[in-house]
């Protein structure tokens, strides 16, 4: 808790597993600053997948993801984090390919920054990101967040493609009951 991870680069690596998958850290309660994940493949067969962090309860600042492929079966996927209850600020996701594979009976969310946002996403940028779903039932995808119950402010989305089948999809958020 309250730890700091900063100035790290992870490139051309493969991460696979059953539960939550990420290239930097599984669960963040501290600060992740100035980290880059580039050209990686991340795949979870039954958990959340985020390039920087799976579940964020702290702060992720000034991080970049470039050219990664990330997928989650029966859970959420995000370019920066799969689930955010903290703050993601000034992060960029570029040329990433994200996918959710629905085999179960619960909601799944995918977004360029976060699959599910229950925190704050501020000043983030999404550039040329592809997000795919294999089912039009219980799926929600967005350029910034698949589901937003928090705050999204001062973000930009450019050339984001929401492909495949979706129940809800949007340029910023697939579903939003937040700010």
What is the per-residue pLDDT for 1? 66
Query: Scanning the structure block, which residue is given the tokens 């930009």?
Result: 156
pLDDT for position 142: 97
Query: Both tokens of residue 145?
Result: 């967040």
Hey, how many other C-beta atoms are within 10 angstroms of the C-beta on 175?
20
> Coil, helix or strand for 132?
strand
Strands in 120-122's sheet, in edge-to-edge order, are: 4-6, 31-33, 59-61, 87-89, 120-122, 151-153
Look at residue 135 in the predicted model and tell me its pLDDT. Answer: 85
3-state percent helix, strand, coil for the chain, nearest multiple of 5: 0, 60, 40
DSSP lists the bridge partners of residue 24 as: none
For residue 127, the model assigns a pLDDT of 97
User: How confident is the model at residue 15, as a pLDDT?
Assistant: 97
**Residue-level pLDDT at 103:** 85
Task: Please give the pLDDT value at position 104.
Answer: 78
> What pLDDT is attached to residue 136?
83
Look at residue 102 in the predicted model and tell me its pLDDT: 87
Q: What is the pLDDT of residue 106?
A: 83
Contact 44, 70 (CB under 8 A): no
Query: How would you label 83-118 residue by residue, b for 16+ Cβ within 10 Å and e otherwise?
Result: bbbbbbbbbbbbebbbbbbbeeeebbbbbbbbbbbb
Task: Give the pLDDT means over successive 10-residue stretches in the chain (179 positions).
Answer: 92 95 96 98 95 98 98 95 98 96 88 98 97 90 97 97 92 91
């Amino acid at each position: 808790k309250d730890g700091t991870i900063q100035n790290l680069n992870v490139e051309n690596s493969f991460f696979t597993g059953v539960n939550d998958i990420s290239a930097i850290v599984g669960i963040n309660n501290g600060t992740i600053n100035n980290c880059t994940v580039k050209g990686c493949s991340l795949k979870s067969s039954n958990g959340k997948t985020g390039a920087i962090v799976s579940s964020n309860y702290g702060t992720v600042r000034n991080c970049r993801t470039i050219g990664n492929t990330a997928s989650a079966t029966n859970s959420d996927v995000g370019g920066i984090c799969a689930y955010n209850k903290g703050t993601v600020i000034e992060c960029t996701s570029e040329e990433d390919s994200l996918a959710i594979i629905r085999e179960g009976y619960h909601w799944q969310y995918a977004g360029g920054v976060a699959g599910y946002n229950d925190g704050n996403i501020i000043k983030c940028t999404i550039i040329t990101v592809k997000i795919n779903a294999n089912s039009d039932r219980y799926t929600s995808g967005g350029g910034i967040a698949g589901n937003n119950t928090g705050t999204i402010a001062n973000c930009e989305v450019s050339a984001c493609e929401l492909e495949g089948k979706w129940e809800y999809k949007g340029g910023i958020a697939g579903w939003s009951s937040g700010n």
